[in-house]
Structure 1
Amino acid sequence: MKMKSKQSLRRRIAGAFILMAFILCSFFSLASYVAVEMAEAKLIDHNLDKLTNQIIGQYLSKQEYELPPDMNFYVDDDIPETFRKLPNGTHEIEIGETRFHVVVRTMNAHRFALSDDTTDFEDTELLIFSAVTAGFFASMLLSVLLGLTSSKLIIAPVTALAEAVERNDEPSKLPSLDTPNEIGTLARAFAKRTDQLQHFLADERLFTGDVSHELRTPLTIVLGAAELLKVQLAESPEQLAVAERIRRVAAEAAERVGALLLLSQSPETLGGSQLSLTHLIEREIERCQQLLGDKPVQIVFEDAGDVWVYARTELAGVAIGNLLRNACQYTEQGTVKIVLTPQQLTIEDNGPGIPENVRERLFERFVRGKENPYVGSGLGLAIVKRVADHLAWKIEHEAPENGGSRFILTFPAN
C-alpha cells in the first residue's frame, strides 16, 4: 500500500521545501517594498522638502528662483483649492490620473505650497511592485514543482524499501543494501532484523513440530493401552469407567498435540474442509461437564440450526474448547451462555471477569490476572488468538455490564 497520508514523508519534505521558499520569497518581496519606499522618501520627499525651504527663503528675500520641470510654487491666494485644505507637511494626493507630492509651509504670515508631478515615478514604482509580485508567485510555483520533484527523488529509495518489506521480500533482495548512506544503513538493518526473525520463526516451528511429533508416540501408546484395558475390564463397570476416562483424556491430548503441529505450519498450507460447528460445540460442552462437577453452573447453547464453516477440526476445537473451558472454570455459579450464528460464536459467563489492567494485553502470552483465584499459565487465550489468526477468524473480548466476560469469534464469509 503506497503512502498517501497527509503526514507522509514525501509530503513533509515537499512542504518544508515550499515553506522555506515562501519565507525567502516573502522576505525578498518585503525587502524590495521597503527599498522602494525608502528610495521614494529619500529621492522625492526629502529633496522636495529641502527645495521648498530654499525657494521660500528666496521668495521672502525677494530673490529670483527657478523651479525644476513638473514643479509649481504657490503663495497665499495662488494656492489651488485642492492644496489649501492640506495641513503643513508633505502629502501625496491624486487629481484625476495625475499624482502629486505637495509640501505645505506657513512662514512669516504667508502660506506656501510646492507641488511635484510624480506620476512617472509612481508608475515606475507600480511596475516594480508588479514585477516583484509576479516574481513572488512565479518563484512559489517553481518551488512547488521543485519541491514535489525533489521529494519524489529523495523518498524514492525509502518507498522502494518500504514496498519490498511489505511484500516480504527476501532480506538479500532488499533495495539499497549496498548504498553508502542512511538509506543503505536502514536497508541493512531491516535485512538483518528480518533474517533474525525468519530464523527465529523457523526454529519455533521446528521446535513445535518436533515436540508435537515426540508427544504423539507416547499418546498413541496410552490410547492403545486404554483400549486394551477397556476390553479386559468389560465385566468391571467401575474400572471400565476409569479406563474410558484415560482413553478420552489421551484422545483429547492427542488432538491438541495435532493442533499444535498444525499451528507450526503456514496458514496457506493448512487446507481444511466444511466443518459443523454445532456438532463441535456440542462435543466440547460434553467434555466441559467434567470441569463443572457439582458447581451450580448451567451451560446454555443457542444455535441457529447447523452452522458450517471452512476450517480444520483440530484448530477450531482448540479455540472453542479453550474459551469454553475458561468460562466453566471461572464461573462458580450461574450460566455459561453459548450463542452460535452463521456469522459468529459468542461465549459469555457471569464469572469474576477480566481485570481492566490486563484487558489491553489479554491475548498476549503469559498475561494473567493475579487477583484471580484461578491463575493459569497465561497461554490459553494467546493460543486462541493464534488459532483465530490461522483460520482468518476474528476474536474480541467484551465486559458485560453485569460482570463476567464475553468472547466473540467472528467467521469469514464462506
Structure 2
Amino acid sequence: MPTSRNGLRRKIWVAFILQAAAISFAAVLGVYGASAVLKHVLIQQALQQEAAHYWQRLQANPGADVPDTYNMTGYLVPAGGSADKVPANIRELPVGFHSLSRAQGGSLVLVEQDGRGHRLYLLFKQEQVDSLAFWFGMAPLAIVLVVIYVIAWSTYRASKRAVSPVIWLASQVQRWDPKRPESAILRPENLPTDVEGETLVLASSLHDFASRIESFVERERDFTRDASHELRTPLTVIRVAGDMMAGDESLSPMARKALGRIQGAGRDMEALIEAFLILAREGDTGLPDDDFDVCDVVREEVDKARLLLAGKPIEIRCVQEQAFHLHAPARVLSVLLGNLLRNACHYTDAGSITVTVRRGSISVADTGVGMSPEELARVFEPFFRAGDRKKDGQGIGLSIVQRLSQRYGWPVRLESEPGRGTTATVSFPNHRPAA
C-alpha cells in the first residue's frame, strides 16, 4: 500500500498525534494553573482564616497557644516583646502574604498584626504544598492523559479501518500501467468485503473508466498498425510507377514536370505518414532504439533532399565537423531531419543549404526567404506558413519537428532574418562521442 509522506494514512496519524499533543498541553497547563491557585489563593485564604480565628481566641484567652500543626507552625510576638523565637529568615518580613524561595526555606508565610501591636507569623510548609499539588494535580493528570491517549489510539484505529478501502483502491490504481490499466481487479466480485458506500461507487466508476481506456488504447493500436500497412502500400505503388514512368524518354516536358510534382508529393506524403505514425503512439513509437552514427543518417537525408532541388540553382552540402552517436530510433532522427531539409528546400530558390554536424548538435542553414521576428514566434504553430505562402507545403513540417524534439528531449532552435535565410539547430544532450 502507499507509504508516501503525503499518504492519507500518514495524514490521519499526524492529525491524531497533533490532537493528542494539544490536549496534553492544555491538560498540563490546566494542572499547573490549578497548582498555582492552590498555592497562592487557597492556602493564603486558609492562613488568613486561621489567623482571624487565633485573634479571636487570643482576645478571649490571653494565654491561648499559637497554631502548631503538622503542616503549619505559628509564632506570636507580643507588643513590645522580643522576636528571638521567630526564625531569622521571616523575622523582618512586613505584614502580608509571602512565598519564600527554596533557598529561604521554601515556605508560605502570613504575617499579621492586631490593633494592640501583637504580631503573628504563620508558616505553611512548602513540601506539603508540593505533595498536595502532586496528589491532587499530577496523579489525576496522568490518569487523564492515559485515558486521552487510549481514546485517541482507538479513534485512530477506527479511522484507519474506515479509510483502508480508499488506501487499497489508491494502491491498485497506482500500480496501473497507463497503456494497459488492469481494470479486472476493480470488478465487484474482486473487491474486498470492506469496500462499501462511497468507496464502492468510486471503485465502480474507476472500473468503467479503465475499461473505456483499454478499449481506446486497443483501438488506437489497431489503427496505427492498419494505417502503417494500408497507407504505405498504395504510396509504394505510386513511387514505383513514378520511377518507371521517369525512365520513359518519350515523355513530353509537360508530362515530365507533372510526373515530378507527383513524385515530390508522394515523397512528402510518405514523410508525413511516417511522422504521424511515430507521434500517434504516445511514449511508444514501436521503433527499436539503436546505437547509430548520426553522420550516416544526415548523409542519407541530404541525398534524399537533392531530389527536391531538381532544376533549382541550389547547392546542398554536408559538413562534418565532429561525429557523434545516439541511442534512439534512427528513423525518428530521419523524420525530424527530413522535415527540416524539406522546409529549407521549399523556401530556398537559390543559394545553398548546409547541414553541419558538430558534437551534440545538427544545424540546417539555408539562404532562403527567411522570416521576420513575428513569423519566427509562430513558426511552430500547425498549418502556419511563413514567407511566400504560394509555395508548396502544408505548414506542419516544423510543428512535427517540435513535437518530435519534445518527445525525445532534443531541443530545437531557429534563427532567421528576412531575405537572408534560416538556421535550425537541433541539440542532443544525451549524445556519445564517436569511437
**TM-score (norm. length: structure 1):** 0.72
The one-letter code of the counterpart of 2:168 is P
Shift, 1:102, TM fit: 0.6
**Deviations 1:226-259, CA, capped at 9 Å, x for gaps:** 1222121278788657645543542453354355
Structure 1 residue aligned with 2:295:
278
- The aligned length equals 404
Q: Does 1:157 align with 2:165?
A: no
The one-letter code of the counterpart of 1:53 is A
- Identify if the C-alpha distance between structure 1 residues 410 and 188 changes in structure 2 by more than 3 Å, giving closer, same or farther: farther
The one-letter code of the counterpart of 1:202 is E
Shift, 1:345, TM fit: 4.5
Structure 2 residue aligned with 1:171:
183
Q: How does 1:13-162 map to 2 (within 5 A)?
A: 13-41=12-40, 43-59=42-58, 63=62, 64-65=64-65, 67-69=67-69, 70-75=72-77, 77-78=82-83, 79-94=86-101, 99-108=106-115, 109-126=117-134, 154=163, 156-162=167-173
Question: How far apart, CA to CA, are the structure 1 residues paired with 2:15 and 2:275?
Answer: 54
Question: How far apart, CA to CA, are the structure 2 residues paired with 1:7 and 1:275?
Answer: 43
Q: How does 1:9-408 map to 2 (within 5 A)?
A: 9-41=8-40, 43-59=42-58, 63=62, 64-65=64-65, 67-69=67-69, 70-75=72-77, 77-78=82-83, 79-94=86-101, 99-108=106-115, 109-126=117-134, 154=163, 156-165=167-176, 168-174=180-186, 178=191, 179-233=195-249, 240=256, 243-244=259-260, 246-258=262-274, 260-261=276-277, 267=284, 269-271=286-288, 275-285=292-302, 290=308, 301-305=319-323, 307=325, 309-313=327-331, 315-325=332-342, 340=357, 343=360, 345=362, 351-352=371-372, 367=381, 380=397, 383-384=400-401, 387=404, 393-397=408-412, 407-408=426-427
Shift, 1:90, TM fit: 1.5
The one-letter code of the counterpart of 1:71 is T
Identity %: 21
Question: How far apart, CA to CA, are the structure 2 residues paired with 1:58 and 1:39?
Answer: 27
CA contact (8 A) 1:304 1:342 kept: yes
CA contact (8 A) 1:171 1:195 kept: yes
CA contact (8 A) 2:313 2:350 kept: yes
Q: Which runs of 5+ in 2 are unaligned?
A: none
The one-letter code of the counterpart of 1:46 is Q
The one-letter code of the counterpart of 1:100 is S
Shift, 1:150, TM fit: 7.7
Q: Once structures 1 and 2 are overlaid, which stretch shifts more, 378-387 or 54-63?
A: 378-387
CA contact (8 A) 1:331 1:352 kept: no
Shift, 1:18, TM fit: 0.8
- Identify if the C-alpha distance between structure 1 residues 377 and 202 changes in structure 2 by more than 3 Å, giving closer, same or farther: farther
CA contact (8 A) 2:312 2:349 kept: no
SS in 2 for 1:71: strand
CA contact (8 A) 2:294 2:324 kept: yes
Question: How far apart, CA to CA, are the structure 2 residues paired with 1:119 and 1:401?
Answer: 91
**Deviations 1:247-280, CA, capped at 9 Å, x for gaps:** 3542453354355456666838533655443232
The structure whose Rg is larger is 2
Question: How far apart, CA to CA, are the structure 1 residues paired with 2:386 and 2:247?
Answer: 43
Alignment RMSD (CA, Å)? 5.1
**Deviations 1:260-314, CA, capped at 9 Å, x for gaps:** 456666838533655443232234345557589989999874542364655253x
Question: How far apart, CA to CA, are the structure 1 residues paired with 2:214 and 2:240?
Answer: 39
CA contact (8 A) 1:74 1:112 kept: yes
Shift, 1:19, TM fit: 0.8
Question: How far apart, CA to CA, are the structure 1 residues paired with 2:376 and 2:91?
Answer: 85
CA contact (8 A) 1:161 1:175 kept: no
Question: How far apart, CA to CA, are the structure 1 residues paired with 2:387 and 2:363?
Answer: 24
**TM-score (norm. length: structure 2):** 0.69
Question: How far apart, CA to CA, are the structure 1 residues paired with 2:168 and 2:182?
Answer: 17
Question: How far apart, CA to CA, are the structure 2 residues paired with 1:244 and 1:371?
Answer: 23
SS in 2 for 1:114: strand
Question: How far apart, CA to CA, are the structure 2 residues paired with 1:220 and 1:263?
Answer: 21
Q: Which runs of 5+ in 1 are unaligned?
A: none
- Identify if the C-alpha distance between structure 1 residues 356 and 191 changes in structure 2 by more than 3 Å, giving closer, same or farther: farther
CA contact (8 A) 2:312 2:350 kept: no
CA contact (8 A) 1:301 1:338 kept: yes
- Identify if the C-alpha distance between structure 1 residues 226 and 355 changes in structure 2 by more than 3 Å, giving closer, same or farther: closer
**Deviations 1:67-114, CA, capped at 9 Å, x for gaps:** 241321232642433113433322222466953211112443444322
Question: How far apart, CA to CA, are the structure 2 residues paired with 1:3 and 1:358?
Answer: 46
- Identify if the C-alpha distance between structure 1 residues 332 and 158 changes in structure 2 by more than 3 Å, giving closer, same or farther: farther
